[in-house]
Amino acid sequence: MPGTRKLGRTTANRMAMLRGMVTLLLETGKVDTTLTRAKEVRALAEKMITLGKKNTLATRRQALAFITKEDVVKKVFDQIAPENANRNGGYTAIYKLGPRRGDGAEMARIVLLSEVEKKAAEEKKASKKSKKAAKKVEAPVEEAPVEAVAEEAVEAPAEETATEEAPAEEATEA
């Protein structure tokens, strides 16, 4: 149940911290924090994305009351919510990073799944483009002109050195 963890802070301080973290998550797409904070941020961030899916004036005002930046609210309603329109919850993922060095607290990274899907799609496109480029390089039509140019470049300096040496020999004969 969201909101049951006190996180060692007063209510006002805790809500201010969570508002800031939710805003940062929605702005950048990922946040590194402790595991317990990430679980609290997940619940609140998913609530904001669900508000964005309704896209009414009332829901926009509710989001503005919680999220600290207006441009982030615009991003939620214009980009993030439409990307997740066919999904019923589960807009975020939490990945464990291991213990923090200073105090051993379990660290985690919370990520918007739409950002993860974008990166996966970009990587897939990049791998397809590299495969197509490799096929084009393997074509024998491109290799023939390159070899002819290389042979001409090798022959040209040999002729120039022969002409330079000839006048030097004539000078020694005279």
On whether both 28 and 72 belong to a single domain, the answer is: yes
Least confident window among 1-5, 65-69, 72-76: 1-5
Q: Are 28 and 112 in contact (CB under 8 A)?
A: no
* pLDDT tens, position by position, 123-133: 888 888 787 77
Residue of 40 and 171 predicted with greater confidence: 40
For 128, phi then psi, to 5°, come to -65, -40
How much is the mean pLDDT over the chain? 83
On whether both 75 and 148 belong to a single domain, the answer is: no
DSSP track, 68-92: S-HHHHHHIIIIIHHHTTT--S--E
Q: Is residue 84 part of a domain?
A: yes
CATH number, domain containing residue 86: 3.90.1030.10
Total domains, the chain? 2
* pLDDT tens, position by position, 94-104: 999 999 999 99
Q: Is residue 21 part of a domain?
A: yes
Say whether pTM exceeds 0.75. no
Residue of 109 and 137 predicted with greater confidence: 109
On whether both 18 and 74 belong to a single domain, the answer is: yes
On whether both 32 and 101 belong to a single domain, the answer is: yes
Q: Is residue 69 part of a domain?
A: yes
pLDDT band at 39 (very low <50, low <70, confident <90, very high): very high
On whether both 144 and 109 belong to a single domain, the answer is: no
The reported pLDDT for the residue numbered 115 is 73
Residue 158 pLDDT > 70, yes or no?
Answer: no
